[in-house]
Structure 1
Amino acid sequence: MSYTFTVSPDFSPDYIAGWFVFNTWLQRILETGFHLELMDDFDSLHAAIAQDRIDLVYANPYDAAMLVREKGFSALAKPRGDADEALIAVAAESGVQAVEDLPEGARIATTDNPDVHLMGMILLEPAGLGQDNTVQVECDNYVLVAKRLLTGESDAGIFLARAFDELSRPVRERLKVLVRSDIQVIHHYLMAGPRIAELHAKLQDALVSMGETPRTARILEQLKLPGWDPVDPEEVEFMIDLMETLKFSPA
């Protein structure tokens, strides 16, 4: 029997080849067939999850609550030392020097990445800005968020901090970061569904030891992951509770 593995659509396209290599390693370690199906957007991902088509997913924090509480998934591992953070940036030539300088009606470039958008809107709260008094400009990815800022089509942009740091140096030099979150407890997780419950422990052990051989270390390098750490269920519940709390922010 073959199972389906997918990845949250917020990853950089530069890592597509790395995820296919990871999937090949996964099948060899587990001696089980896995089909890697990459989704174009979050709507496609959520539809696949709702239809119970997904067995293993590298999920963002926003989706973790639904996967755990509605679909019976378990979080097996998280990227070592790599928390999810958001930031607000503007064009370097912008007169805006702080979030508080952004006016009502500001055009905010963002993506459909729900957890990053949520954190970004909270970062805008000191300016008294929220969904009701800003213009949301949705972009397909963070490169296009940057482009909106550089062309003057948006006043500020919400970025996954990691994605901003991975922009090319010439692009980053034309942007200015106003504020960056420092929550430290929000992570992506590799999450496994109930249909592969008998594989959970074996997969977790394999993930945690990936950096111990040159071959598997190269796979991590392709994904720009320093390694995997095991996840305590209580840690996941804490993060889920935090994300639920953030959802009820005035933003």
Structure 2
Amino acid sequence: MTSRLHFSVCPHDTAKNVAGWFLINTYLQRRLDLAIHFEPCDNVNDEREQVLAGGYELVYANPYSALRYCEQRQFVPIARPTGLYDETLLIARAGEALPTTRPVQIASASDRLIVHFLGLTLLEKVGLRVSDCESKFVGNHLKVLQAVVSGQCELGFLFNETWQGLSAKTQSGLQILEQTRNQQAFHCFCVGPALADRAEEVQAILCSMKDDPQGRRILEDLRFAGFEPVTMDGLHHLNTLVGMSA
């Protein structure tokens, strides 16, 4: 192997299956003949700031982070999971009516995630104005769930993948008041300038994993159908959600 690169993955993904991401890291190392260092981080804001500080050449990023990396560090998106989109569920405890007191307390993981911005678009659909509500940023999606279940907040903005990973018993204690179906926001792999000359090669390896027995086993472990190419055009429309310039 000729050089050493650094790989970072959104903590919301490593929290679900960190072993699978180590397998992807090894898979890419062998096919690129590169030493790639991967060390998971457990806080999404810390992980984002580490990448923005420099020293990373490959990332698997949530939509908001991907926009920041492309804008501030000249990363380029290359591949995204096939058929998977970031959506937001507006949840409440099961059987409870929409709160009549104001402000309504809404739990949200962070104001630096697309899940939050998508959640704001749901309020009008249930008869609430943004000015009727007060967001409580609790740090991650599981803490959103806890805040709603415990009664600390009446409502919550929950990541769709978090909901899908809940047990039937936990889901039965909650209700979905509304949800987005935009199919616009998504996680994606991005490469930095130091790896730009091999971007097409990395993209080809990722997008062909489903056709390789070893790659397919890793995808199945991570519950991905595969990866498909993506370009900057696929991210530009998200700027309107987060108020960033394209």
2 CA distance for matches of 1:205 and 1:32? 16
2:119 maps to which residue? 120
1 CA distance for matches of 2:182 and 2:230? 18
- Which residue, 241, 244, 247 being the options, matches 2:242? 247
1:129 maps to which residue? 129
Query: Gapped runs of 5+ residues in structure 1?
Result: none
- Which residue, 34, 37, 41 being the options, matches 2:36? 34
Contact between 1:104 and 1:129, CA under 8 Å: does it hold in 2? no
Structure-2-length-normalised TM-score: 0.90
Percent of residue pairs bearing the same amino acid type: 28
1 CA distance for matches of 2:241 and 2:71? 17
1:115-159 CA deviation, whole Å, 9 max, x = no partner?
1111112211343432x5433222233222222222211101101
1:140 maps to which residue? 139
1 CA distance for matches of 2:116 and 2:188? 18
2 CA distance for matches of 1:52 and 1:144? 29
Pick which of 15-24 and 141-150 moved more.
Answer: 141-150
1 CA distance for matches of 2:124 and 2:139? 24
1:84 maps to which residue? 86
* 1:179–1:6 Cα change, 3 Å: same
2 CA distance for matches of 1:32 and 1:247? 35
Contact between 2:52 and 2:69, CA under 8 Å: does it hold in 1? no
Contact between 1:27 and 1:34, CA under 8 Å: does it hold in 2? yes
1:158 aligns to what SS in structure 2? strand
Q: How far off is 1:23 after superposition?
A: 0.7
* 1:217–1:102 Cα change, 3 Å: farther
Contact between 1:92 and 1:176, CA under 8 Å: does it hold in 2? yes
- Which residue, 7, 22, 25 being the options, matches 2:24? 22
2 CA distance for matches of 1:46 and 1:233? 19
Contact between 1:18 and 1:222, CA under 8 Å: does it hold in 2? yes
Q: How far off is 1:10 after superposition?
A: 2.3
Letter matched to residue 208 of structure 1: C
- RMSD over aligned CA atoms reads 2.0
2:65 maps to which residue? 63
Q: How far off is 1:60 after superposition?
A: 1.3
Q: How far off is 1:32 after superposition?
A: 0.2
**In the alignment, structure 1 residue 215 sits paired with structure 2 residue 181:** no
Query: Gapped runs of 5+ residues in structure 2?
Result: none
* 1:195–1:41 Cα change, 3 Å: same
Contact between 1:12 and 1:163, CA under 8 Å: does it hold in 2? no
Contact between 2:106 and 2:157, CA under 8 Å: does it hold in 1? yes
1:163 aligns to what SS in structure 2? helix
Q: How far off is 1:103 after superposition?
A: 4.6
Letter matched to residue 242 of structure 2: K
1 CA distance for matches of 2:205 and 2:196? 15
1:196 maps to which residue? 195
Pick which of 47-56 and 71-80 moved more.
Answer: 47-56
* 1:30–1:213 Cα change, 3 Å: same
How many residues were matched structurally? 240
Contact between 2:14 and 2:21, CA under 8 Å: does it hold in 1? no
- Which residue, 2, 8, 11 being the options, matches 1:9? 11
1:161 maps to which residue? 160
**In the alignment, structure 1 residue 54 sits paired with structure 2 residue 53:** no
